[in-house]
Structure 1
């Protein structure tokens, strides 16, 4: 397929483009930042550029992973987020409808599912317990990043309804390489924190890329779907109260060897976990499961 990949110079795009080419696809990268993966340097907010890119390259599929992200909030105005994340998505959808694009994959974020109350208190349904998050919840984004991503999701849904465009929305959990913005509070090494997060809110960039390939392949069959993409959690909904009160004990129930392995490494578990992303719908409907999980981290620790 001839694929337009936005965000091609970014962390995800740089992992995804080579995978797509290895599968025989012709990839046209579009990104404001030049790179070896980017053929067109420019913004998705530039409507004329987007229209030309889709028409002139006879694009058959669009993977839209380009966006302003949460860390950009400190450097950009709300208007910039609307222009890039909302208008940019609209431009791509219009181009898809105008030039017969056959499938569209949109990179969204689990961040839009975290309301201020979940982030600050862990309350859900009036009881103090971790939030068990599925695609069926009604999001209440807490910042401009989440608001614009949710708006873009709704545009994707609209264009499926109006034009029959197959669209798969992937709400990806954390896969960024940067240290957590609360690292100074957590007082853990970056590797320790990222390992812990694989239990409930993280995946590798390689798994994120593979999820997009699965969505690209299944798009026409599924029509319109939204999927949480995160490493498979060992937890169950009935664990949510204990996860807030004493997360290490819950983890030890599922992984009895973890305390000794962590002690040897000098690592610690989070004392409390306030949310769990349930990726079972992606497993059941998309046929996708992340390859890397918390169990793999422990296996590496055993091998050290």
Structure 2
């Protein structure tokens, strides 16, 4: 397929472009920053005209797209004022979804987030592990992600052929960031993330599989590593932090508390890069 990746110069964007090209797709990177060249064009996605035009065609780049992978966003709270994060991300996502529909592109995969499930998880959840039925926002970035999912649920009603897949990524880690796992023996390490993480290369794998298995309608998937980001066994973490929370399934020794069962069963997603193998400490 010919696929545009928004936010292609970001941490997950770079891994996704590499993966999709390795899969044999023709990939056009689109982002607000980066050096223009073959396979990449600068686009300001807050400008709907630029967004639509980039999807319809770019001279010397493409004359039409089969799919869009939407990763562009202000990635976390705190980089700019909260209201700026909210306004930017909602505007960008609406522009991307609307432009894709206007351009006749029926397949979109985009980055939702565990912030749409309540990150940072200061409150004890109703049950563990967390699955895709959980929706909550505790900051403006998360509020934007909740509203994006609500918006997409309506857009797919308007166009029965439209397929949009929301991937709820947890904290994305690149190969050069595994040094942070030196703290993994601390039972409070990654507590706010429900102890989860995802290697950028496995995040890109999830994008590839979502494109491969795209069907009309909206689907939401949690995307995390299969193990926790903690050196403390999962049962001990549960006893220490969530003793009163019901556990809905039997969990492995270090199994993640961010359920990826749906992605496993429907997409065939199986993370390949786990910190216990990657960490050189």
On whether the aligned pair clears a TM of 0.5, the verdict is yes
- Deviation of the 1:29 alpha carbon: 1.3
| Alignment equivalent of 1:192, drawn from 159, 175, 182 | 182
Structure 1 gap ranges (5+): 181-188, 247-252, 256-274
1:148-173 Cα offsets, whole Å, 9 max, x none, are: 11111222222112112101110011
Structure 2 gap ranges (5+): 58-62, 244-251
Q: Does 1:67 align with 2:93?
A: no
Higher Cα Rg, which structure: 1
- State TM-score, norm by structure 2: 0.79
- Deviation of the 1:239 alpha carbon: 6.9
Residue 4 of structure 2: aligned partner: 4
| Contact kept? 1:45, 1:83, Cα under 8 Å | no
**For the residues of structure 2 that align with 1:43 and 1:10, how far apart are their CA atoms?**
14
1:180-208 Cα offsets, whole Å, 9 max, x none, are: 9xxxxxxxx61324797699411111101
For residue 86 of structure 1, give the secondary structure of its aligned residue in structure 2.
Answer: helix
**For the residues of structure 2 that align with 1:111 and 1:223, how far apart are their CA atoms?**
22
**For the residues of structure 1 that align with 2:175 and 2:18, how far apart are their CA atoms?**
22
Report which of the two has the higher share of helix: 1
Residue 40 of structure 1: aligned partner: 41
| Contact kept? 2:31, 2:72, Cα under 8 Å | yes
| Alignment equivalent of 2:218, drawn from 214, 217, 224 | 224
| Contact kept? 2:5, 2:70, Cα under 8 Å | yes
- State TM-score, norm by structure 1: 0.73
For residues 158-237 of structure 1, the aligned pairs below 5 Å read 158-164=154-160, 165-177=162-174, 190-193=180-183, 200-220=195-215, 223-233=217-227
| Contact kept? 2:264, 2:270, Cα under 8 Å | yes
For residues 107-146 of structure 1, the aligned pairs below 5 Å read 107-114=111-118, 118-119=121-122, 123-125=124-126, 131-137=128-134, 139-146=135-142
Residue 16 of structure 1: aligned partner: 16
The alignment's C-alpha RMSD in Å is 3.5
**For the residues of structure 2 that align with 1:67 and 1:80, how far apart are their CA atoms?**
11
